[in-house]
Structure formats: structure tokens, C-alpha cells
Structure 1
Amino acid sequence: MRLRHPRRASDRATNGDTDRATDGGTLSEAESDRSAEESLLDFPEPAAVTGRRRRRRRILTALIALAVLLGVVATLYFSPLLVVRAIALQDNDLLTDQRAQELLAPLHGTPLAQISQRDVEGLLEEERAVDEVIVAARLPEGLDILVIEHPPVAEVHVEEEILFYSQEGELIRTFDEDQREDAQGYATPVISAEAALENESVFKTIVSVLGQLPEGARESLDSATAESRDSVQLELQDGRTVVWGNDERGDEKAAVLEAILGSPAEEFDGVEVLDISTPSAPVTR
């Protein structure tokens, strides 16, 4: 026969606490998780770590954008769908369309993105009438070229040809016998072949003087000549002679000539010579 020993109150209290702890085990784990989360919130990551993460994100974003950009550029640069199939020219006068298309033929079939201003200038450089060009792509397959030409200021007749010269004295266009009609309509006074071919410095002085004139005044001229660099004379279409002198003070002389040609004053009618070699004191006779 076994004797039962009654449990002490302290033992019952201890066992009760143990049982309650066992029964509430799940609640204690949840509380532990919350405590862990609260600990994380209580201790945020250092600013240096956050900064590095942001920098990595920015770098990654930039790399992705660069890759997309390079893909677009590569598509435009090499795509056979965006090649030159038509070239349109604007403001070309001395340079004919036919001649321009012949010179620019190598551009056909070239991707638009590969064509630069310098490429077009190189193909047209032998045409002295061309001063500069402005090039623009016209998607998907066109090229627009604005041509800025040297304006002709004088013409020289040599046998059956008409030679056009710029203000710098450069030959910019030759019209043969079959093209004489095409040479009409320009404000280009005639310089004798002797004056043009015998003395280069005198000839350049003449064309320099003509280049200083507004186009409206140049249209009133018939011819120009000179025996020396200081004796340029202009022949008006009405038969009057303008003594110009040298090519100095050209702007002043041009203004005086324009004023005389546009003046209704009788003192300029019936005279044979208008001497404006000293523009501040013009003389008529």
C-alpha cells in the first residue's frame, strides 16, 4: 500500500504556471515576432546603406535607358527602311537640278542617319556657284537640301559663251550658245573680255565694285570697264556714264548712286556723266 503525499501549494502554483505557459505557446511566438519587428523599426538601416542602394538603382535605370537609346540609334543608323530614295533641292538657280542630281547620286541608298552636312558639301564642292548648303532629312526616305549660291555680279562674253563671275572674281557658271536664254534675267552688267582677261587685279576691282551695288542699282547698268584700279566706270542702260573711281568707300558711293537714280530732280536729267568718285561731292557734266 502506497501512501499519497499531498502536493504543496507552491508545487501546485509552479505546475499551474508551467501548464499555462504550455497552453499559451502560440501567443508567446506571435508576441516574439512582434517584438522582433519592433526591434527592426527601432533600428533602421544606416544612411550609407540606403544611399548605396539608391545609387545602384539610378545606375541600373541609366544603363537600361542607354541600352534603349543605343538600340534606337542603331536602328536608325543601319536600317534599310530609312535610306535615301529621293533628293529635293531648293533655291538652286545657277546649279541646275540635273547637275545636282548627278553629283548627289552616291547618296542614294545610304541610310539617312549616316549622311552629314559635310558629305553633301563634299559632293558639291566643285560647283563654284554654291556658297553653302543646309541639309535636312525628310523621313522616311527623303533628303531636303537648301542651296545658297554666290550671286553673279558680272558677265563676260567669250566667243559664244557667257561667263558669270562672283564678287570675288571667281567664275561660277558658264552658259554655252544653247543656254543663252537661261543667262537672261540676271542683274549682271557686261565686262569686256579684254578687261577681264588682260589684267586680273583690274578685273577683280571691277567685280568688287559691282558687288557693292544693291541689285536694283545693278539692274540699271549695262556694262562696266576700267583701265586701272582707280578708274572704274559704269555704263547705265540709258547711256549715262557713272565715274566710280576705285573700290574704296563703296557703301557711300552705292547710296549716292541709288539716290541719283531714284531722284526726280531735273539736274540729273540730260547729263552724260555722273562723277561719284568722291561720294560727299558728286559732280554732273
Structure 2
Amino acid sequence: MAGPTTAERGARQQESSGPPLLRRWRPPRLRKIIILALVLTALGAGIGWLLYGSQWTRVERVTVSGTRVLSPAQVRDVADVPAGAPLVSVDTDGIEARLRRELPRIDGVQVVRSWPHDIGLEVTERTPVLVVERGSAFVEVDDEGVRFATVSEAPKGVPLLQLTTSRSGSAAASHRRFGESRLVREAVRVAGAVPAAVARQTRVVKVGSYDDISLELSGGRTVAWGSGEKGQAKARTLTALMKAAPGARHFDVSVPTAPASSGS
């Protein structure tokens, strides 16, 4: 009886050996999977213990930077960072919100974890650009028109803001239309546009209405500024006008294309 042909032997050999890819692939052994799972579990537990259970990553010090008027002690007291707590569990957002709420002088703050033991409080304080007199005290106003602090003495070099709107006429209508807060912001806008050389001489920013803002300078000089609009053009005009008429005592740049000066 004749044996299998060459073709039959090749077909049987191919069936028994299977495709090359299947011959190379072997399912991972169960033992290796279990060991890997145990290693990952142990690693996760170790990291969790290091962050939450270990004494190596707990709050030991709170540092404060950026303060000018506030003291570091004031900021630390309000921040109330829990000493000895795991560093990772400190509620940084809550601390930032509490500082901004209870210390209005703070314009911005960042609470930073500094591993392994420190919390840093990086503070930015508001800077007064105007002050409003309230009895024997002064309320500081920043460059956004925010009234943020009451002090017993006016900061040196900060102009006084006077709201002189009357209860009748166009000034009263302006007050009703824009509101005091808007008028304060306009005064701040003007104060920010005044040329630096003039700003150093400005003693009072007076607001009669939205379109009637004026400056009182040292030496009894005055500047009629008008509204807070076209601030850059008015600043350039005022600088040129003061150079052209150095002896003048009254300047009007409310219409910057038609300035005027008077007095001597």
C-alpha cells in the first residue's frame, strides 16, 4: 500500500504546526498576573501611606510673601492652615477664598504646596489710587474702583476723591443715571490717565458729574478734565499746554482739540 504523497505530508505538517503568529503567542501565566497585581497594590498603598499617614509629608511651616501693609502674622492667622495635617489634604482653594473674603486688602493670593513640609502664601495687595474721606478716617480705593480698606491717615501721595454731585440739575441727573460706584470708577480712570508729572502734584480729584471731573493741583492750580473718555489725548494736551503756559493757574482739556489756559 502506497504511503502519503508529498503534498499530503505537507498539508498535515502545516495543520499540526498552525500559523506562525499563533505559534509565537503564548497567554501570560496566571502567576505573573497575580504578582504584578500585588506589586501595584503594594505600591499604591505605600504612596497613600506616604501622603496621608507618614510624618514625612505633613504641614510644619507656613510662609507668607508679598505683603506691604498687612503683616505676615495677619495673613497666617486668617489662612488658618492646619498644622500637622497631611500636605496633600490642605484645602488650597478654601484658604484662598477665606483670605480674599476676610482681608479685602488682598487682591490676589496663591496657596502653594512646597514639599515635603511647607505651605506658601503668595499675596498681592491692592494699591490705593484715591482715598475718600469718611469723618476722621479715609477709605482707600484701588485702580478698579474697589473701596477696600479704612485707615486713620491718608496714604502719602494719594489724591483725595471728592464727590460733589448736587441733588438738583444735571449733576443730580448724572448721579441717578450712573450711580456713585460708576462715578468713582470714572474718577479712578481719570487718575490713571493723568501724566506722571501732573499726578505727583494732584491733591484732589473732584467729581461733579460724569462729564465734570476736575483736578486740584499743588499751588492752587486746577485742571478741568471733563469725562474719563479720551484720556490719552487729554494727557498729551495737558502736558503741551503746561509747557506753553507755565505761569497759568487754570487749564481746561475737557475738549482736547480745543484746550485753554488762564490765570497767572
Structure 1 residues 184-204: Cα deviation after superposition (integer angstroms, max 9, x where no partner)? 34x421123766xx9514333
Q: How does 1:134-149 map to 2 (within 5 A)?
A: 134-149=110-125
Q: How does 1:63-142 map to 2 (within 5 A)?
A: 64=39, 68=43, 71-72=46-47, 74-126=49-101, 127-142=103-118
Question: Whose Rg is larger?
Answer: 1
Indicate the residue corresponding to 1:4 in structure 2: none
Note if contact 2:130-2:188 (Cα within 8 Å) is conserved in structure 1: yes
Structure 1 residues 113-158: Cα deviation after superposition (integer angstroms, max 9, x where no partner)? 2235412212212222222212322333222222123321111222
Moved more, 154-163 or 105-114: 105-114
Q: Which consecutive unaligned segments of at least 5 residues does structure 2 have?
A: 1-12, 166-171
Partner amino acid, structure 1, of 2:128: P
Indicate the residue corresponding to 1:184 in structure 2: 155
- Classify the secondary structure of the residue corresponding to 1:188: coil
Question: How far apart in 1 are the matches of 2:44 and 2:151?
Answer: 51
Note if contact 1:83-1:112 (Cα within 8 Å) is conserved in structure 2: yes
Q: How does 1:48-59 map to 2 (within 5 A)?
A: 50=25, 53=28
Indicate the residue corresponding to 1:150 in structure 2: 126
Question: How far apart in 2 are the matches of 1:70 and 1:253?
Answer: 67
Q: Is the counterpart of residue 275 in structure 1 residue 252 in structure 2?
A: yes
Q: Is the counterpart of residue 242 in structure 1 residue 223 in structure 2?
A: yes
Aligned length: 232
- Classify the secondary structure of the residue corresponding to 1:278: coil
Indicate the residue corresponding to 1:221 in structure 2: 202
Cα offset, 1:246, TM superposition: 0.8
Question: How far apart in 2 are the matches of 1:274 and 1:206?
Answer: 18
Question: How far apart in 2 are the matches of 1:50 and 1:165?
Answer: 75
Note if contact 2:81-2:95 (Cα within 8 Å) is conserved in structure 1: no
Q: Is the counterpart of residue 47 in structure 1 residue 45 in structure 2?
A: no
Query: CA 1:203 to 1:184, structure 2 compared with 1: closer, same or farther past 3 Å?
Result: closer
Identical positions, percent: 26
Question: How far apart in 2 are the matches of 1:57 and 1:234?
Answer: 82
Cα offset, 1:51, TM superposition: 7.7
- What is the RMSD of the two structures over their aligned residues, measured on CA atoms? 3.8
Instruction: Provide TM-score, normalisation by structure 1.
Output: 0.65
Cα offset, 1:57, TM superposition: 8.0
Instruction: Provide TM-score, normalisation by structure 2.
Output: 0.69
Question: How far apart in 1 are the matches of 2:245 and 2:64?
Answer: 45
Query: CA 1:85 to 1:175, structure 2 compared with 1: closer, same or farther past 3 Å?
Result: farther
Structure 1 residues 159-189: Cα deviation after superposition (integer angstroms, max 9, x where no partner)? 221210123332211113xxx3xx534x421
Partner amino acid, structure 2, of 1:206: A
Larger strand percent: 2
Note if contact 1:268-1:284 (Cα within 8 Å) is conserved in structure 2: yes
Query: CA 1:164 to 1:141, structure 2 compared with 1: closer, same or farther past 3 Å?
Result: same
Question: How far apart in 1 are the matches of 2:35 and 2:259?
Answer: 78
